[in-house]
């Protein structure tokens, strides 16, 4: 059995090989992701969209995130598990933010937390790292929890001023002690610039191939989420029609009396039956 991946391992991978990361929200998929040897598993707040059928990641809270994070950590033996701090769990009050980050570690068994950039992000990130000693992954570029303030779900950093701000955010997060940063939906050349400037790894989603690692939402990769597919997604499988076909076959066999068959039945001896 391989050993549990640590934050130190992730830092050391920069420049040696690309880092792999996927989301997972439950025991069966987390188990498969872990067995495939993916380095990091993100219990993302994309849970809201791809599992809970909500229209915004701002609609999940600590209770849902912890519930799913616990299922994931029960399954994982090797990957580093990152808990995604949900909207309003770290924006409102710095003390509460530290408490919420600690819940991901102590109650759910995560190894680190991820915070999306917002205006007081640096103060909160510093508190979580320094006071609670929790490894923090930053998240800049398109930050879905505050997408309305960024003009919607759009590529970020497309002009020099906006790109400069994102580069400064990355450098500030590194200085505070973040161990990695997600770059979401930024031009590939900006991701290349940031990746070259930082000693910590960048993990891209819609940020091109120059990042130190890549992350995707597992339901997008598996073709299990049909509502919309962002341009940056590659579907490595298309499971929805396979699942639909299996369910339809089951339905037909039940209706036609073909399922359960003799191999699925429990029997009783005739002499016992005769006593009834």
Q: Does 22 bind ligand KIV (CB under 6 A)?
A: no
Given 182, 183, 190, 191, the residue binding ligand KIV (CB under 6 A): 182
Name the helix (H) or strand (E) containing 205. strand 202-205
SS3 147: helix
Q: Does 213 bind ligand KIV (CB under 6 A)?
A: no
Q: Which residue has the tokens 């359960």?
A: 260
Smaller CB separation from ligand KIV, 75 or 216: 216
The count of C-alpha atoms lying within 13 angstroms of the C-alpha of 153, restricted to the half-sphere facing its C-beta, is: 11
Given 166, 167, 205, 207, the residue binding ligand KIV (CB under 6 A): 205
DSSP codes joined into one string, 208-224: -TTSSEEEE-HHHHTT-
For strands 202-205 and 213-216, give the pairing: parallel
Smaller CB separation from ligand KIV, 134 or 181: 181
Smaller CB separation from ligand KIV, 46 or 97: 46
Q: How many residues bind ligand KIV (CB under 6 A)?
A: 10
- Nearest-angstrom CA–CA distance, 273 and 276: 6
Nearest approach, Cβ of residue 159 and ligand KIV (Å): 24
Q: What is the largest CA-CA distance in the chain?
A: 87
Site string for ligand KIV, 130-169 (x = CB under 6 A): ----------------------------------------
Q: Give the footprint of ligand KIV on this chain (CB under 6 A).
A: 23, 42, 44-46, 84, 182, 205, 215, 217
């Amino acid at each position: 059995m391989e050993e549990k991946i640590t934050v130190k391992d992730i830092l050391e991978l920069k420049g040696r090989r690309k880092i792999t990361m996927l989301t997972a929200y439950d025991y069966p998929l987390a188990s498969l992701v872990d067995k495939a040897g993916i380095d990091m598993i993100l219990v993302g707040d994309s849970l809201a969209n791809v599992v809970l059928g909500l229209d915004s990641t701002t609609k999940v809270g600590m209770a849902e995130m912890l519930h799913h994070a616990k299922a994931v950590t029960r399954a994982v033996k090797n990957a580093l598990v990152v808990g995604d701090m949900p909207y309003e769990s770290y924006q409102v009050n710095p003390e509460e933010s530290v408490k919420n980050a600690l819940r991901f570690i102590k109650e759910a068994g995560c190894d680190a937390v991820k915070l999306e950039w917002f205006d007081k992000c640096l103060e909160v990130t510093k508190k979580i790292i320094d006071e609670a000693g929790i490894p923090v992954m930053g998240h800049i570029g398109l930050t879905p929890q505050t997408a309305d303030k960024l003009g919607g779900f759009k590529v970020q950093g497309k002009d020099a001023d906006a790109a400069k701000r994102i580069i400064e955010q990355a450098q500030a997060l590194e200085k505070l002690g973040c161990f990695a940063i997600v770059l979401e939906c930024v031009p590939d050349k900006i991701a290349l610039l940031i990746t070259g400037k930082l000693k910590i790894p960048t993990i891209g989603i819609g940020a091109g191939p120059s990042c130190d690692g890549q992350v995707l939402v597992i339901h997008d990769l598996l073709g299990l989420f049909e509502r919309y597919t962002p341009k940056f997604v590659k579907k490595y499988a298309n499971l929805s029609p396979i699942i639909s076909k299996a369910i339809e076959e089951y339905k037909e066999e039940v209706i036609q009396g073909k399922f359960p068959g003799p191999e699925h039945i429990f029997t009783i001896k005739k002499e016992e039956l005769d006593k009834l």
